[in-house]
């Protein structure tokens, strides 16, 4: 009797197909909630401790005070890349042609070379963890460096300076906005980053796991995730949500604008989600963060949300279409001084932590991910 497995045809996009097991987290779309290793992700985001959540994903547990301090120091020591990598970034960024995401994609192999990185298949668990932390820790500074260079600033203005005692998020914001951020901005961006560290087997996370299943090195895995994230259907919506608010301009123009977009068959950026059939819990969290800032822009966003959801219910009855994480993320990041072109890179900064955790998990499984396809004649 043959032991071959008979292939089955999966739905388009593999929607609803379970392809792996994970202990990193889960998205319960019908319930409108998600968690990281059993801990409510929204509650972790409200606490605003980025390194503590990072420890949970990378090392598997929430640290006590002493472990949290050691972890903060450990990732801080990995934050500034080696001199050879800083020189590479300075040269690559000089023309200003590379976006921060493309710049990070080009720099990760250079960082791998400087570190002497090897295939994950050839490393033990401790070595893999060090690789995961090193690449995730260096990512924020590299992203900020390309942004700074495109704006005529020194990519790494403080390479010799001790890492900020305020942590990864404060250090990133200082480099991006060009000044020491206030505590409210640090907490708001931390909440956003923690809320977006991981979110099920999305396109970029699946990509990193496929590459990791081949035994490739950490840089290749994360670079693949960045490639998936660069697509506008995955990581590019936050700035587009603000484009809609710019086009509207004032509350009285919201309804005509939204009706016009729906009549033209255009998608309302920042609305709807592939998994949630209720309100996106990340959007609810960031809406509250935005309300804490207040002001005309936040009032416009709230009015836009109310009108758009009402008209979407009329236009597509029976479908639950609410704001997703990108909508209020855009408002919050703008309030914190993050420039629009850095919205997706900031998202990538969070996801790199999640991707690297998934890479570690996948690397423990020696089975390569190798699905089948069905040939259809042209």
Note every long-range contact of 170-175, with CB atoms under 8 Å and residues 24 or more positions apart, other chains counting: 171/79, 171/140, 171/141, 172/140, 172/141, 172/143, 172/144, 172/346, 172/349, 173/336, 173/337, 173/338, 175/140, 175/141, 175/144, 175/145, 175/148
Q: How are beta strands 25-28 and 39-40 bridged, if at all? A: unpaired
Strand order in the sheet with 25-28: 25-28, 33-36, 39-40
Out of 187, 273, 322, 358, the active site residue is 273
CB 269 within 8 A of CB 259: no
What's phi and psi for 7, nearest 5 deg? -65, 145
Among 140, 144, 168, 161, residue whose Cα is nearest residue 76: 168
CB 180 within 8 A of CB 186: no
Burial class of residue 130, CB neighbours in 10 A (0-12, 13-18, 19+): middle
CB 301 within 8 A of CB 327: yes
Q: Please give the span between the terminal C-alpha atoms of the chain, in angstroms, as a whole number.
A: 35
Cα of 250 vs its chain's centroid, Å: 30
Out of 131, 326, 334, 361, the active site residue is 326
Active site residue 199: no
CB 76 within 8 A of CB 163: yes
Active site residue 127: no
User: Which of the 8 DSSP states describes residue 276?
Assistant: -
Rg of the chain taking only CA atoms, in angstroms = 21
Active site (catalytic) residues: 273, 326
């Amino acid at each position: 009797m043959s032991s071959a497995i008979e292939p089955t045809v999966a739905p388009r996009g593999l929607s609803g197909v379970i392809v792996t097991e994970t202990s990193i987290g889960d998205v319960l779309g019908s319930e409108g909630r998600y968690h990281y290793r059993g801990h409510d992700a929204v509650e972790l985001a409200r606490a605003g401790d980025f390194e503590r959540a990072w420890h949970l994903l990378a090392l598997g547990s929430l640290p006590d005070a002493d472990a949290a301090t050691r972890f903060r120091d450990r990732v801080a020591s990995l934050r500034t890349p080696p001199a050879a990598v800083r020189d590479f970034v300075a040269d690559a960024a000089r023309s200003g042609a590379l976006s921060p995401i493309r710049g990070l994609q080009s720099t990760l192999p250079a960082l791998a070379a400087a570190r002497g990185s090897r295939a994950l298949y050839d490393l033990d668990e401790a070595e893999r963890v060090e690789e995961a932390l090193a690449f995730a820790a260096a990512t924020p500074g590299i992203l900020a460096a390309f942004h700074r260079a495109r704006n005529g600033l020194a990519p790494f203005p403080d390479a010799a300076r001790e890492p900020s005692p305020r942590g990864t998020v404060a250090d990133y914001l200082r480099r991006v906005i060009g000044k020491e951020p206030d505590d409210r901005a640090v907490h708001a961006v931390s909440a956003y980053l923690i809320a977006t560290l991981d979110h099920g087997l999305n396109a970029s996370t699946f990509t990193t796991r496929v590459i990791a299943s081949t035994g490739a090195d950490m840089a290749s895995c994360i670079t693949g995730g960045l490639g998936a994230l660069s697509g506008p259907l995955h990581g590019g919506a936050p700035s587009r949500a603000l484009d809609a608010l710019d086009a509207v301009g004032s509350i009285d123009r919201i309804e005509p604008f939204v009706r016009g977009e729906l009549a033209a068959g255009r998608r309302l950026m920042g609305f709807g989600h592939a998994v949630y059939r209720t309100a996106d819990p990340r959007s609810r969290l960031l809406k509250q963060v935005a309300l804490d800032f207040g002001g005309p822009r936040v009032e416009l966003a709230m009015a836009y949300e109310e009108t758009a959801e009402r008209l979407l219910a009329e236009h597509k009855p029976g479908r639950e279409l609410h704001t997703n994480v990108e909508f209020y993320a855009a408002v919050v990041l703008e309030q914190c001084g993050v420039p629009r072109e850095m919205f997706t890179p900031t998202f990538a900064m969070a996801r790199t932590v999640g991707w690297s955790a998934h890479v570690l998990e996948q690397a423990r499984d020696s089975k390569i991910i190798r699905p089948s396809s069905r040939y259809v004649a042209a």
